[in-house]
Amino acid sequence: MVIGFDESNQQPVRFLSMEIFVNGAARQVPDNYTAAELVEALGLAGKRVAMEVNREIVPRSDYAAHCLQPADKVEVVHAIGGG
């Protein structure tokens, strides 16, 4: 992982350094990017979601510890209420 500093506020910043595929679309993310970070970036935090990485279900309880790898194929779905 490459770390630099945001010159405006001197906060550490992770640079984009690997490509994964999310629901078929390429996405650049930092090394050591977790499933939890992806859910947050997709605006789905706190929602009912299911995630599959390389055709394997990732339990929600593992999202924070599950680090994505270069070229991972991730499928994310979320429940939408209706009636």
- Give the per-residue pLDDT at 79: 84
In this prediction, the residues of the chain whose per-residue pLDDT falls under 70 are 1-16, 83
CB 18 within 8 A of CB 74: no
Residue 33: predicted pLDDT: 95
pTM comes to 0.79
Identify whether the C-beta of residue 56 lies closer than 8 Å to the C-beta of residue 68: no
SS3 40: helix
